Amino acid sequence: MEEILEKKLESGPLNFESYFSEKALKMKASEVRELLKLVETSDVISLAGGLPNPKTFPKDIIKGILEEIMEEHADKALQYGTTKGFTPLRLAIAEWLRKRYNIPTSKVDIMITSGSQQALDLIGRVFLNPGDLVVVEAPTYLAALQAFNFYEPQYIQVPLDDEGMRIDILEEKLRKLKAEGKRVKLVYTVPTFQNPAGVTMTEERRKHLLELASEYDFIIVEDDPYGELRYSGKPVPKIKALDTEGRVLYLGTFSKILAPGFRLGWIAGEPHFIRKLEIAKQSVDLCTNSFGQVVAWRYLEGGHLEKHIPRIIEFYKPRRNAMLEALEQYMPEGVKWTRPEGGMFIWVILPEKINATTMLEKAVKKGVAYVPGEAFFAYRDVKNTMRLNFTYVDEDKIQEGVKRLAETIKEEL
As a whole number of angstroms, the distance between CA 393 and CA 388 comes to 11
As a whole number of angstroms, the distance between CA 22 and CA 265 comes to 30
Residue 222 or 341 having the CB closest to a copy of itself: 222
Identify the residue among 68, 171, 270, 407 touching a copy of itself (CB under 8 A). Answer: 270
Torsion angles phi and psi, residue 326, rounded to 5: -65, -40
Residue 235 or 246 having the CB closest to a copy of itself: 246
Residues ≥6 apart with Cβ < 8 Å to 92: 296, 297, 300, 301
DSSP state of 153: -
In the complex, the smallest distance separating the C-beta of residue 108 from a copy of itself, rounded to whole angstroms, is 8
R_g (Cα) of the chain, nearest Å = 22
Residue 142 or 386 having the CB closest to a copy of itself: 142
Q: Decide if 221 contacts 251 (C-beta within 8 A).
A: yes
Question: Is 338 among the residues that bind a copy of itself (CB under 8 A)?
Answer: no
Within positions 55 to 84, which residues make up the interface with a copy of itself, using CB under 8 A? 57, 59, 62-63, 66, 70, 74-81
Question: Is 246 among the residues that bind a copy of itself (CB under 8 A)?
Answer: yes
User: Which part of the chain contacts a copy of itself (CB under 8 A), choosing from 103-111, 299-307, 309-317, 363-371?
Assistant: 103-111
Sign of the alpha-carbon torsion through 406, 410, 412, 413: positive
Question: Is 337 among the residues that bind a copy of itself (CB under 8 A)?
Answer: no
Count of residues touching a copy of itself (by CB under 8 A): 99
Residue 50 or 227 having the CB closest to a copy of itself: 50
As a whole number of angstroms, the distance between CA 43 and CA 62 comes to 31
Q: Decide if 220 contacts 248 (C-beta within 8 A).
A: yes
Identify the residue among 35, 68, 87, 318 touching a copy of itself (CB under 8 A). Answer: 87
Within positions 19 to 58, which residues make up the interface with a copy of itself, using CB under 8 A? 19-24, 27-29, 51-52, 54, 57
Identify the residue among 46, 255, 389, 408 touching a copy of itself (CB under 8 A). Answer: 255
Question: Is 94 among the residues that bind a copy of itself (CB under 8 A)?
Answer: yes
Question: Is 260 among the residues that bind a copy of itself (CB under 8 A)?
Answer: yes
Residue 337 or 392 having the CB closest to a copy of itself: 392
Q: How many CB atoms lie within 10 A of CB 37?
A: 11
In whole angstroms, how far apart are CA 104 and each of 51, 85, 190? 31, 20, 20
